[in-house]
């Protein structure tokens, strides 16, 4: 029933866009860009539509599960600890109710119970928790999704008309992954927002800020910090191209600027590890324990990874439970069929997007055991970034249709 409502509303929204476009373009218009309307009005319509769908999703999930389900549970306890005790040691909160965070604890160097996952989401939530209590969890999650969609929308508007940008954002954020995680308190949503921010700032050539955002991911969602690999490789290729044209050391400035922004947070991350776990180069996932009342068993994060093989990659893409295709068929369409359209508009953006997709698929194809139920939250950044080639494809189709109609 919920799927039918989503599909009906999506068809209605798409039809409305096409109708508005058809009646607004003058006959024999040269292109879509003569249609004038503020970006904010387009995004307002998209936001209202998304909120409507999210409200249905909210009601659907609220009928049988809590926002604090799985990983969000221990993050909520971390917020409570920060607010009440001004620390992130959860032992006094969990000593009585250990089953709440049975396998979500990292053992500190002095026996503390730290949250297994990164602390940035909890730190961001604390000011709202004092005012709104448990409602702050869903509010923060929604705000991050809205800000992520708006950031992508503004970037797409710099490449294409707001009609095209609105359509791409609407299709992306009403797909299964984002409606699924709209009713949650997810570190993956925050990590996705920062990964997309890193991508956008890279292609906008704001390298220092891109490095800062890349460093912040260490505190938001550590596995997503692999996005720094394609970003740095992309800069190395750019530096190599500049060095071929000019041997001046100024050609190295983009790479240097990125590392300046990144190293600040990388150093902070090492200091945090030293204070919490006794070593600069260890982190929470290497101190993962189960705190079930029976025994405190040490967990092995490395056992979740397997050697890279084509089977792992096939499972990552085609698995009926967690595969890329099942999670977001729209993203697959964008990658396979829309990326060539993006190359026609911005080759550098298309290259960086392909690099992000390859790195994420290669890394998380190792992670074959313990992968979450679908949609695969580890590929959430790729689902969001797929809106960029999707917008290019929409723009190409509409432009060709208008040109032939003229």
pLDDT tens profile 254-276: 889 999 999 999 999 999 999 99
| Predicted local distance difference test score (pLDDT) of residue 309 | 59
pLDDT: which is higher, 266 or 35: 266
Average pLDDT in the chain = 79
User: Is residue 77 within 8 Å of residue 126, measured between CB atoms?
Assistant: no
**pLDDT tens digit string along 321-334?**
667 777 788 888 88
What DSSP state is assigned to residue 283?
A: -
Q: Give the residue from 111, 60, 123 showing the smallest Cα distance to 87.
A: 123
| Predicted local distance difference test score (pLDDT) of residue 394 | 92
Q: Hunting for tokens 């697959």 — which residue is that?
A: 332
Alpha helices in 204-279 (DSSP H): 207-220, 228-245, 253-277
Tokens coding 171: 């299709």
Q: How confident is the model at residue 207 (pLDDT cuts 50, 70, 90)?
A: very high
pLDDT: which is higher, 192 or 314: 192
The number of domains in the chain is 1
| Predicted local distance difference test score (pLDDT) of residue 351 | 93
Q: Is 16 a residue whose pLDDT tops 50?
A: no
**pLDDT tens digit string along 75-95?**
888 998 899 888 888 888 776
Peptide bond before residue 375 is cis, with ω within 30 degrees of 0: yes
- In whole angstroms, what is the distance from residue 164 CA to residue 211 CA? 29
Q: Tell me the average pLDDT across 125-140.
A: 89
| Predicted local distance difference test score (pLDDT) of residue 362 | 83
Q: Tell me the average pLDDT across 326-349.
A: 87
Q: Tell me the average pLDDT across 139-155.
A: 89
pLDDT: which is higher, 119 or 239: 119
Q: Is 347 a residue whose pLDDT tops 60?
A: yes
Q: Across 32-41, 123-132, 296-305, which has the greatest mean pLDDT?
A: 123-132
| Predicted local distance difference test score (pLDDT) of residue 171 | 87
| Predicted local distance difference test score (pLDDT) of residue 27 | 36
| Predicted local distance difference test score (pLDDT) of residue 121 | 94
From 98-107, 130-139, 264-273, 396-405, the region with the lowest mean pLDDT:
98-107
User: Is residue 372 within 8 Å of residue 322, measured between CB atoms?
Assistant: yes
- In whole angstroms, what is the distance from residue 107 CA to residue 113 CA? 5
Can you give the residue range of the structural domain that contains 56?
2-405
From 21-35, 145-159, 226-240, 331-345, the region with the lowest mean pLDDT:
21-35
Give the SS3 label for residue 169: helix
For residues 369-406, b (16+ Cβ closer than 10 Å) or e, as one string? Answer: eebeebbbbbbbbbbbbbbbbbbbbbbbebbeebeeee
| Predicted local distance difference test score (pLDDT) of residue 250 | 60
Q: Is 164 a residue whose pLDDT tops 80?
A: yes
Q: Give the residue from 252, 262, 263, 287 showing the smallest Cα distance to 273.
A: 287
- In whole angstroms, what is the distance from residue 332 CA to residue 375 CA? 13
Tokens coding 100: 């709440």
């Amino acid at each position: 029933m919920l799927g039918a409502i989503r599909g009906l509303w999506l068809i209605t929204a798409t039809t409305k866009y096409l109708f508005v476009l058809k009646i607004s373009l003058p006959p024999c218009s040269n292109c879509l860009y003569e249609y004038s309307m503020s970006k904010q009005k387009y995004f307002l319509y998209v936001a209202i539509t998304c909120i409507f769908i999210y409200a249905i999703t909210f009601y659907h999930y609220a009928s049988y599960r809590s926002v604090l389900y799985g990983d969000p549970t221990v993050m909520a306890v971390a917020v409570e600890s920060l607010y009440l005790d001004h620390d992130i040691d959860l032992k006094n909160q969990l000593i009585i109710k250990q089953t709440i965070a049975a396998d979500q604890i990292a053992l500190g160097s002095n026996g503390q119970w730290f949250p297994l996952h990164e602390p940035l989401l909890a730190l961001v939530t604390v000011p709202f928790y004092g005012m709104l209590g448990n409602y702050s969890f869903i509010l923060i999650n929604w705000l991050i999704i809205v800000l992520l969609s708006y950031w992508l929308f503004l970037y797409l508007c710099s490449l294409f008309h707001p009609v095209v940008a609105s359509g791409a954002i609407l299709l992306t954020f009403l797909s299964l992954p984002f409606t699924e995680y709209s009713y949650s308190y997810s570190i993956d949503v925050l990590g996705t927002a920062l990964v997309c921010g890193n991508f956008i700032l890279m292609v906008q050539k704001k390298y220092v800020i891109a490095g800062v955002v890349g460093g912040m991911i260490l505190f938001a969602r550590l596995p997503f910090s692999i996005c720094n690999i394609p970003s740095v490789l992309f800069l190395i290729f750019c530096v190599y191209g500049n060095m071929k044209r000019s041997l001046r050391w100024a050609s190295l400035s983009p790479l240097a600027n990125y590392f300046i922004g990144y190293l600040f947070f990388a150093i902070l991350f090492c200091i945090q590890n030293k204070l919490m776990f006794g070593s600069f180069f260890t982190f929470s996932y290497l101190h993962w324990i189960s705190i079930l009342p029976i025994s405190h068993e040490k967990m092995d994060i490395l056992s979740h990874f397997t050697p890279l093989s084509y089977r792992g990659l096939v499972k990552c893409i085609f698995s009926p439970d967690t595969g890329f295709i099942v999670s977001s068929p729209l993203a697959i369409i964008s990658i396979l069929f829309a990326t060539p359209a993006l190359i026609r508009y911005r080759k550098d953006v298309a290259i960086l997007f392909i690099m992000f997709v390859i790195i994420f698929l290669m890394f998380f194809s190792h992670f074959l055991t313990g992968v979450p139920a679908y949609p695969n939250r580890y590929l959430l950044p790729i689902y969001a970034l797929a809106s960029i080639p999707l917008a290019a494809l929409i723009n190409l189709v509409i432009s060709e249709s208008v040109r032939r109609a003229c």
